[in-house]
């Protein structure tokens, strides 16, 4: 890492830790703890002045005790270095739970910006050039905020614009003019998704224009799991670990941003450790078991596509004699008509309702009848309602959840 420029604030941008997540039933807490070690050492060795975490700290609204312990370890060690941390909530987090005791915790330099009603209340940090205002936009659920914010429609664009209107009004108000950092957990138009993000589509309008964030000196984005540059000052750090085989070629890590007197002066990517690499391999079973070309994959997590004319018996068991970390097995026999073989491809862009109807037809070799379709539709609506009530703050102390210009996608 090059030495820092003179008189700059060094900001480490990370997001989408998804603590507690597994990878095709393989636990990842040990790998996530290794990332925390790397994060803390980067902050220490590169003399970082501020850490920003743009949402999805946890993988679930109710994280496991072990996942909470990893988060606690990360924040405790960063606080011990005396480096302020600003953290906001993602769509996987419960904003209310993550923000519990935020006013008390901020005394330790850990700032939890999880309440949409307080998006215009920044954390203030200082450097040689004066104050820097750090605003946190947690995941903003359109169904929850449309009425209280008086929005024209139920879209992510509408809630993001209103949040940034409030940020801009505060920034340009009395005593304004400070440099501005914005954390936002959202899908900005042009950002390229992977297979591991949870769908946030609302009425088909899930994306937000990059110009929503005009005026901020740096925008630290979370939600998409690949590191990406929407513009020089609007970036996704991506997740610190791969959470799907679509991320096999990603380089994971954090952005190290140098903020000077007049804005961003330099941005470098700090690669994270790779506890176990991912790969996709293809061929007949005998080729895969015998070919020396695959020696390098023997310690990788693998997605395997077999091209044998007939499906081999006990294929996964035989594969694991050479590739003990093979996790997914697909079958695409050579010579047959081309077909989509990846489940992610089969499901992408389709509604829950359509997927469930097709499942019934595949299992029974006949479609559901009218009464059954009505029952399936009612079940889908009930599940949607449960997700709506899951995670964002609501009345009565209950948690509720309701309910692309191409950037540069950076891979190794």
Q: What is the C-alpha radius of gyration for the chain, rounded to an integer number of angstroms?
A: 23
Residue 214 has pLDDT above 70, yes or no: yes
Count of alpha carbons within 13 angstroms of residue 288, beta-carbon side = 26
User: Are β-strands 253-260 and 326-331 bridged in parallel, bridged antiparallel, or unpaired?
Assistant: unpaired
Helices (H), 295-342: 315-319
Q: What is the mean pLDDT of residues 25-46?
A: 97
Q: Which two tokens stand for residue 108?
A: 């330790």
- Bridge-partner residues for 183, per DSSP? 136, 220
Interval 277-318: pLDDT, tens: 999 999 999 999 999 999 999 999 999 999 999 889 899 999
Tell me whether strands 278-283 and 301-306 are parallel, antiparallel or unpaired.
Answer: parallel
The predicted model scores a pTM of 0.80
The answer to whether residues 133 and 124 touch, using CB atoms and an 8 Å cutoff, is yes
Q: What is the mean pLDDT of residues 70-76?
A: 97
- Whether the CA torsion 363, 364, 368, 372 is positive or negative: it is negative
The DSSP call for residue 371 is H
pLDDT value at residue 389: 56
Write the DSSP symbol of residue 94.
-
Average pLDDT, stretch 223-238? 97
At 196, phi and psi to the nearest 5? -105, 0
Distance between CA atoms of residues 298 and 72, nearest Å: 35
CA 407, CA 400: separation in Å to the nearest integer?
Answer: 33
* Residue that has been written with the tokens 């941008």 in this structure: 13
- 181 closest CA partner among 40, 10, 5: 10
Tell the burial category of 387 from Cβ atoms under 10 Å away from its Cβ (0-12, 13-18, 19+): middle
Q: Which CATH superfamily hosts domain 9-271? A: Metallo-dependent phosphatases (3.60.21.10)
State both tokens at 242.
């791969």
| Cα gap 364→356, rounded to integer Å | 12
All residues at 6 or more sequence positions from 406 whose CB lies less than 8 Å from its CB, including other chains: 190, 192
Q: How confident is the model at residue 34 (pLDDT cuts 50, 70, 90)?
A: very high
Please report, for the chain, the start and end positions of each structural domain, with discontinuous segments joined by +: 9-271, 278-368
- pLDDT 10s digits, 110-149: 999 999 999 999 999 999 999 999 999 999 999 999 999 9
- Please give the mean pLDDT across all residues of the chain: 89
Q: Which range is least confidently modeled, 66-80, 196-210, 255-269?
A: 196-210
- Residue 401's pLDDT is 39
Tell me what percent of the residues of the chain surpass a pLDDT of 90. 74
């Amino acid at each position: 890492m090059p030495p820092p420029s003179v008189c700059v604030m060094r900001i480490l941008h990370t997001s989408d830790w998804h603590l507690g997540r597994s990878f095709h039933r393989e636990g990842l807490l040990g790998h996530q703890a290794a990332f925390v070690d790397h994060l803390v050492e980067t902050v220490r060795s590169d003399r970082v002045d501020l850490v920003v975490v743009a949402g999805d700290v946890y993988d679930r609204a109710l994280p496991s005790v072990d996942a909470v312990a990893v988060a606690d370890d990360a924040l405790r060690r960063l606080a011990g270095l005396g480096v302020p941390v600003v953290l906001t909530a993602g769509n996987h987090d419960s904003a209310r739970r993550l923000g519990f005791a935020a006013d008390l915790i901020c005394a330790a330099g850990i700032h939890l910006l999880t309440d949409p009603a307080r998006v215009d209340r920044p954390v203030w940090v200082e450097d040689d050039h004066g104050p820097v205002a750090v605003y946190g936009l947690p995941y903003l659920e359109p169904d929850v905020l449309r009425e209280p914010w008086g929005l024209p429609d139920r879209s992510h664009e509408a809630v993001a614009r209103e949040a940034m209107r409030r940020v801009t009004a505060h920034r340009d108000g009395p005593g304004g003019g400070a440099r501005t950092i914005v954390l936002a957990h959202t899908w900005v138009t042009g950002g390229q998704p992977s297979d591991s993000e949870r769908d946030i589509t609302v009425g088909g309008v899930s994306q937000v224009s990059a110009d929503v964030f005009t005026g901020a000196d740096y925008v630290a984005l979370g939600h998409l799991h690949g590191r990406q540059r929407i513009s020089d000052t609007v970036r996704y750090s991506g997740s610190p670990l791969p959470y799907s085989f679509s991320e096999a070629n990603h380089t994971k890590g954090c952005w190290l941003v140098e903020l000077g007197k007049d804005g961003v002066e330099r941005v470098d990517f700090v690669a994270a450790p790779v506890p176990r690499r991912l790969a996709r391999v293809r061929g007949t079973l005998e080729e895969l078991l015998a070919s020396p070309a695959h020696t390098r994959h023997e310690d990788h997590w693998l997605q395997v596509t077999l091209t044998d004319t007939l499906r081999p018996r006990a294929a996964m068991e035989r594969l694991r004699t050479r590739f003990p970390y093979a996790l997914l097995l697909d079958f695409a026999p050579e010579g047959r008509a081309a077909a989509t073989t990846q489940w992610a491809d089969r499901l992408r862009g389709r509604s829950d309702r359509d997927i469930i109807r097709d499942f019934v037809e595949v299992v029974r070799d006949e479609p559901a009848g009218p009464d059954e379709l009505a029952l399936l539709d009612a079940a889908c609506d009930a599940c949607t309602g449960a997700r709506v009530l899951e995670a964002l703050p609501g009345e009565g102390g209950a948690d509720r959840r309701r309910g692309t210009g191409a950037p540069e996608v950076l891979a190794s």
